[in-house]
């Protein structure tokens, strides 16, 4: 061995999804830093570690509010007035009002373990709970952000941390409400937080820092543009995420404020490009969809949450005709599985269009495999990390699918992904590697017992309060 190169581990797989195509007899070399150094094919040499299934790149989850996982199911009661996104938000504000930093870390770690066991290997955490119960800063203003990093490190998931800028309760800078006091930061304090996080975690290849101006509802134009300029000076490739056009009322309020629709406003007034992820983009016109696709930004689609909240239907086929990029997010974390998110994405389109196989237009193209590839590429772009591909220079984020799982028996290549996504049964994910480390082995996460113990304690405390 050449002594100047770092030690490598060679993995052999019966088949692997490599740069968009399946190859058989795959050989994947991973260095001690957790990066893929070479990919080839051939008979496994004696020193290779043989993987027990088909290898695909781990899926990035491009949008999450981790703490909301612990309230899944707590907002599912009817009322005479009718329930909608805004009434759900009231329940969510009451729930988060009681969370300590320890609670946030315990819930996030439990969520991340669950995501990893289903095949998500990276997350973009849209993190907006910064302040203590009274709305004041913690002694360390980055306390809550460090808790998210702590949860990511315990679980081993790759993290794009997106501290959120939140300043207002409505378009044009309407004063924030009491329930929003834990989110608020001045623009200067926000930029200082981002600088601290970048400095603290700059040597960790598992972590990328970006920014998330929450929405046009929560951030007035001047602050939005200041935030974008500040992050561009720090890192011109840093991801910028924003919630946009999730609800009809949001569009109506934006029109009343500016005469423009939310996506239209962003395209007209902000430097939207490939760094951006426009989360939801549900309520959009044909013109907005064409322009969004052309911008190179990613549409952040969160199918299970959008269904849960009654948001509406993203115009996927029109967006794909314009070669728009998308990734998937678990958002409120009512779902934790990439296959579920992709199935929901396609099924909602089918119900709406009364047709099948909406997201692939070419004859014979595999819908599930096509969705998986596109979500890998869009998710990786939105996370701003070298992930989503099995190729030299990318992080070794690998998911091993069990070919003996009943849903996958007899399936090969693209058909295997189709069957994973459209079988809807227990996950066939067997083993998961993130950055060269095995975090799930034979369906068990290596820290799942300890993480669950902390989570139980957290829920007991919240229930007894």
Site string for Zn ion, 210-239 (x = CB under 5 A): ------------------------------
The CB-of-63 to Zn ion minimum distance in angstroms stands at 6
Tell me the site size for Zn ion, rule CB under 5 A: 1
Which of 11/190 has CB closer to Zn ion? 190
* Cα–Cα distances in angstroms (integers) from residue 60 to residues 64, 260, 399, 416, in the given order: 11, 32, 12, 19
The CB-of-5 to Zn ion minimum distance in angstroms stands at 43
CB 411 within 8 A of CB 419: yes
**DSSP single-letter state for residue 174:** B
Residue 348, strand partner residues: none
Length of the chain: 465
Backbone phi and psi for residue 233, each to the nearest 5 degrees, phi listed first = -65, -40
Instruction: Give the CB-nearest residue to Zn ion.
Output: 331
Asked about 280 being catalytic, the answer comes back as yes
The CB-of-65 to Zn ion minimum distance in angstroms stands at 6
* Cα–Cα distances in angstroms (integers) from residue 78 to residues 181, 247, 365, in the given order: 27, 20, 42
Q: Near Zn ion by CB under 5 A, which window of 198-206, 265-273, 293-301, 327-335? A: 327-335
By CB under 5 A, is residue 35 in contact with Zn ion? no
384's torsion region: left (phi>0), alpha (psi -120 to 50) or beta? left
Two tokens, residue 146: 């460090």
Q: Near Zn ion by CB under 5 A, which window of 7-15, 104-112, 328-336, 418-426? A: 328-336
Separation between Cα atoms, residue 107 and residue 66, nearest integer Å: 7
By CB under 5 A, is residue 331 in contact with Zn ion? yes
Residue from 214, 280, 366, 445 carrying the catalytic annotation: 280
Beta strands at 212-213 and 158-165: parallel, antiparallel or unpaired? parallel
The CB-of-330 to Zn ion minimum distance in angstroms stands at 10
Q: Near Zn ion by CB under 5 A, which window of 34-42, 115-123, 323-331, 370-378? A: 323-331
Which of 253/331 has CB closer to Zn ion? 331
CB 86 within 8 A of CB 115: no
Residue from 103, 226, 311, 331 carrying the catalytic annotation: 331
Give the position of tokens 């990613």. Answer: 298
The CB-of-224 to Zn ion minimum distance in angstroms stands at 17
Q: Which residues are tagged catalytic?
A: 280, 331
Which stretches of the chain bind Zn ion, using CB under 5 A?
Answer: 331
């Amino acid at each position: 061995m050449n002594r100047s190169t770092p030690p490598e581990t060679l993995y052999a797989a019966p088949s692997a999804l490599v740069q968009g195509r399946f190859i058989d007899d795959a050989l994947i070399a991973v260095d001690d830093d957790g990066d893929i150094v070479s990919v080839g094919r051939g008979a496994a040499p004696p020193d290779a570690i043989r993987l027990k299934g088909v290898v695909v790149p781990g899926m990035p989850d491009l949008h999450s509010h981790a703490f909301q996982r612990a309230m899944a199911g707590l907002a599912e009661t009817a009322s005479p007035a009718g329930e909608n996104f805004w009434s759900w938000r009231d329940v969510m504000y009451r729930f988060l009002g009681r969370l300590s930093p320890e609670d946030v870390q315990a819930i996030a770690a439990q969520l991340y373990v669950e995501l990893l066991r289903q095949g998500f290997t990276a997350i973009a955490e849209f993190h907006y709970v910064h302040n203590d119960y009274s709305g004041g800063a913690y002694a360390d203003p980055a306390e809550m952000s460090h808790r998210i990093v702590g949860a990511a490190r315990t679980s081993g998931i790759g993290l794009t941390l997106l501290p959120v800028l939140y300043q207002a309760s409505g378009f044009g800078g309407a004063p924030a409400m009491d329930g929003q006091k834990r989110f608020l930061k001045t623009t200067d304090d926000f930029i200082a937080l981002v600088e601290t996080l970048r400095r603290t975690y700059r040597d960790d290849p598992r972590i990328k820092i970006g920014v998330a101006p929450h929405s046009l509802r929560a951030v007035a134009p001047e602050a939005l543009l200041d935030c974008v300029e500040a992050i561009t000076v720090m890192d011109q490739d840093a991801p910028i995420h924003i919630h946009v056009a999730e609800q009809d009322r949001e569009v109506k309020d934006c029109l009343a404020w500016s005469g423009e629709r939310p996506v239209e406003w962003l395209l007209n007034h902000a430097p939207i490009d490939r760094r951006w992820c426009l989360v939801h983009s549900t309520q959009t016109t044909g013109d907005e969809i064409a322009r969004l696709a052309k911008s190179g930004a990613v549409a952040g689609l969160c199918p299970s949450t959008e269904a849960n909240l009654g948001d509406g239907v993203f115009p996927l086929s029109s967006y794909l005709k314009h070669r728009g990029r998308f990734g998937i997010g678990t958002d409120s974390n009512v779902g934790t599985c990439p296959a579920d998110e992709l199935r929901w994405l396609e099924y909602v389109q089918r119900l709406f269009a009364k047709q099948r196989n909406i997201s692939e237009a070419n004859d014979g193209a595999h819908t599930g495999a096509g969705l998986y590839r596109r979500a890998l590429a869009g998710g990786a772009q939105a996370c701003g990390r070298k992930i989503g591909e099995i190729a030299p220079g990318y992080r070794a984020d690998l998911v091993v699918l069990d070919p003996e799982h009943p849903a996958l028996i007899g399936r090969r290549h693209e058909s295997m992904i189709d069957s994973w996504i459209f079988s809807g049964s227990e996950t066939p994910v067997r083993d998961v590697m993130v950055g060269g480390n095995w975090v799930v082995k034979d369906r068990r996460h290596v820290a799942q017992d300890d993480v669950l113990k902390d989570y139980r304690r957290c829920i007991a405390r919240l229930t007894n309060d």
